[in-house]
Amino acid sequence: MSTHTHAEIISRDSEAILAPAFVEFVKWVLKSAGEQNIRRIYFLARDGYPMYRAAQILSRGREPEIECRYLRCSRYALRIPSFHLIGKEAAEQICLGGIDVTLEKVLKRAALTDEEAGEIAGLLGRQKEMDRILSYGEVQMLKRELLDMEKFWEYVNIHAGEAYDAAVGYLKAEGLMDAVRWAVADSGWTGSMQMTLRILLESAGYRGRLTGYYFGLYHIPEGEKKENYHAYYFGPFGKIKRKVHFSNSLFECMFSEPEQMTLGYKETSGGYEPVREPGEVKNKEALEIIADAVEKEAQKEALELPDRLHLWQILDPDVIQRKMADLMSRPDKEQAQAFGNLWFNDDVRGEGQKIAVPLTEEEIRNSHVLPRGASMTGIRKEPVKESAWMEGSIVLGGKRIRWHLWQNRMYKYILYIKKQIMEKRKK
């Protein structure tokens, strides 16, 4: 039995594994921006918070000079006002798959009130199914039903219109309409935040180029210019082994701001300000430990770096990220307990759950390649019990760990090969 507390394990691994890997990524962001004549970077909340802290230290006194800012936003805070502009195309973002998706979660993504959500559920004949977990196929069926429901879109348009002016006002106040070459930086995954920002800004008259720098990108939104999206560790094509040994959910749990998410914006006597979700962040202690380790690592690196950004040497990601990949894909029992206890919410709203949710042996077996494939294709009706960090759940399960981890890797290999094929078809 471990004699270390969860905080001690997180502190140890933050200093030895996480901070060096993360700071190397921030160095890449700054160097890449400098080489492309970017003079301001907006680090997007909340994953961008430790990036922002590290970048402030690393960029100080460098040439070219790059201004680092922190933009308080979220997928929810930007998507809702954008629905005012894109109409029923919003169904693609409202009816996404995910962990334990329910009708209630889907309707919350559209900013419907409890009363409005209840009305829509009634029109769908699902008043008693608000909390039932939906399979991927059922979510897609729900999307088709909602597309034809004018009452649903009436509510979506009302809330989107109400949110639009304040959101654009906040973005203008933060300088996103300034005549300076700027870019955004974030963890990444789908590139949807950059696309939504572009839609909002162009509706307000912005005509500049919007560039983004990301830790990783599984795909780029359809219709977007690929040259405006830059990925450090993996992009939509290739690097499948890196994706298999990576957990974007765990990454978000480890690197984030120890504050609640931004729900939207409001106009005040002094301009515009973000509106945050009430309450305390459940991972506050761990996030502060990790952010402090990142800042200390950045201070240490800053002493050794040349003043000119183009002279910075960026280490091969396969080398610098290897220990973090091991932690994510094959943690030991201590790591699975400490990091698996972090709270995670993969939806724009909602309570969330432990990132390594406890699973029975049967639930872990049902996540293997064949049962999961049967569920995805509709052959198996019951949804798979999901874990945001399946590797952590497998280790905590304690039985046939190597076999279950192998099955999980095989599923991820198939998943990312399939996604790559689909991306190529878009070309």
pLDDT at 2 (0 to 100): 57
pLDDT at 350 (0 to 100): 63
Alpha helices in 36-149 (DSSP H): 48-59, 75-86, 91-94, 103-109, 114-124, 136-147
pLDDT at 148 (0 to 100): 94
The DSSP result for 304-367, as a single string, is: TS-SBGGGPPPPPHHHHTHHHHHHHHS--HHHHHHHHTSEE--SSSS--EETT----HHHHHTT
Phi/psi zone of residue 419: left (φ > 0), alpha (ψ -120 to 50 degrees), beta? alpha
The 3-state DSSP class for residue 211 equals strand
Residue 145: half-sphere exposure toward Cβ, Cα within 13 Å = 16
d(CA 286, CA 391): 20
Contact 355/344 with Cβ under 8 angstroms?
yes
pLDDT at 375 (0 to 100): 64
d(CA 202, CA 85): 11
Alpha helices in 36-72 (DSSP H): 48-59
Contact 220/229 with Cβ under 8 angstroms?
yes
d(CA 36, CA 373): 43
Tabulate helix, strand, coil % of the chain (nearest 5). 55, 10, 35
Beta bridge partners of 183: 41, 211
pLDDT at 410 (0 to 100): 94
d(CA 321, CA 246): 10
* Contacts for 373 with CB less than 8 Å, ≥ 6 apart: 414
pTM of the prediction? 0.93
pLDDT at 281 (0 to 100): 87
Contact 265/275 with Cβ under 8 angstroms?
yes
Residue 229: half-sphere exposure toward Cβ, Cα within 13 Å = 27
Single-letter residue type at 426:
K
Residues of the chain with pLDDT under 50: 1
pLDDT at 251 (0 to 100): 97
Contact 369/410 with Cβ under 8 angstroms?
yes
Strands (E), 182-226: 182-189, 211-217
Kindly report, residue by residue over 289-324, the tens digit of the pLDDT.
Answer: 999 999 999 999 999 999 999 999 999 999 999 999
d(CA 24, CA 20): 6
Q: Domain residues of the chain, as ranges?
A: 6-79+163-315, 81-160, 326-426
pLDDT at 224 (0 to 100): 92
Residue 238 burial (C-beta neighbours within 10 Å; 0-12, 13-18, 19+) = exposed
Contact 320/24 with Cβ under 8 angstroms?
yes
d(CA 413, CA 419): 10
Instruction: Give the pair of three-digit tokens for residue 110.
Output: 């559209």
> Domain 6-79+163-315 is of which CATH architecture?
3-Layer(aba) Sandwich (3.40)
Contact 354/274 with Cβ under 8 angstroms?
no
DSSP 90: G
